[in-house]
Chain A
Amino acid sequence: MTNPSESVIIVVVSRALARLIQLFGIYVIIHGHYSPGGGFQGGALLAAGVILLRMTEGYRESQTETSTAAAIPLASLGALIFAGTGLVTLAFGGYYMDYGAVPVPGVEEPIVRYYGILLVEFGIGLAVMTALVAIFDDMLGQAPGGDGEHAPAESTGAPPKI
């Protein structure tokens, strides 16, 4: 599971499939105003794409996706975007998370709420995606950069380079 898959077919197909899953995740986040979905579902789909690459390409090869060391800081950033949006509205004199209180010149209040919801959904998506990836990496017990506990014991040749 942490080593690269030996089958070329699995690696090639999972690379294409992971991009499709992540594209669908971004669509779900952005299009959440008009169709079912939102930050939570889109973030989980993005995490599913990364986890698929972790399982097929191997742990080290897929560090160019969300790297293990950057996962928890990015999750903090996502939660900070969410909570910080509420604090901004608090600073303009509204209630917590009352996006309409932010005065934007030339824009009506419903439109401000629309973009407030969009910003919050991005924060949710970032936090959920990176937190789920971090949980998966920690469950497999790999140290970032170092040699993990499950280093290839019986090496079966070089991983497939495509």
Chain B
Amino acid sequence: MRILNYILLAVFAGLLIYATVHLPARGDADAPMHRQENVVGDPVAGAYFISNAYRDAATPNMVTVVLADYRSVDTLGEVLVVFTAGVCCFLILRRRLYD
């Protein structure tokens, strides 16, 4: 059983490595995610963010503009996850508050 575990692990690692070698190189300008248009011919959102982030929000850090302006609903969900974790710990774990 133990040997089967290791064989499964090795097979899975080989599968992952095989999938990783065919990815485009890091920082490749011709990778599909870095092009202006995707395969169908529609404009890619990332290219718009890169060329218009400073003009839209007067902020040099592009990541901040994407996180707090373009994709701010995503960040709202992120904050609500942390807040929900705090409230759940408050409801389950806190003792002797009302007795």
Contacts and interface: CB of A to CB of B under 8 A. Distances in A.
A–B interface present (Cβ within 8 A): yes
Interface of A: 32-36, 38-40, 71-72, 75-76, 78-79, 82-83, 86, 96-97, 99-100, 110-111, 113-114, 116-117, 120-121, 123-124, 127-128, 130-132, 134-135, 137-139, 141, 143-144, 146, 149
What DSSP secondary structure best describes chain A's contact surface?
Answer: helix
Interface in B65-93: 65, 67-69, 72-73, 75-76, 78-80, 82-83, 85-87, 89-90, 92-93
Contacts of B55: 110
A132 B79 CA distance: 11
A82 B77 CA distance: 11
B59 interface: yes
29 contacts: A32-B64, A33-B59, A38-B64, A38-B67, A72-B86, A75-B83, A78-B79, A86-B76, A97-B69, A97-B76, A99-B69, A100-B56, A110-B58, A114-B58, A117-B65, A117-B68, A117-B69, A120-B72, A121-B64, A123-B79, A127-B79, A127-B82, A127-B83, A130-B86, A134-B89, A138-B89, A141-B95, A143-B97, A144-B97
Given A34-B60, A79-B79, A135 B73 contact: no
A138 B78 contact: no
B33 to A, nearest CB: 21
A32 B59 CA distance: 9
A91 B85 CA distance: 30
A133 B69 CA distance: 27
Contact of A36 (B61, B87, B97): B61
Contact of A38 (B68, B87, B95): B68
Contacts of B85: 131, 135
B72 A72 contact: no
A36 B63 contact: yes
Contacts of A113: 56-59, 69
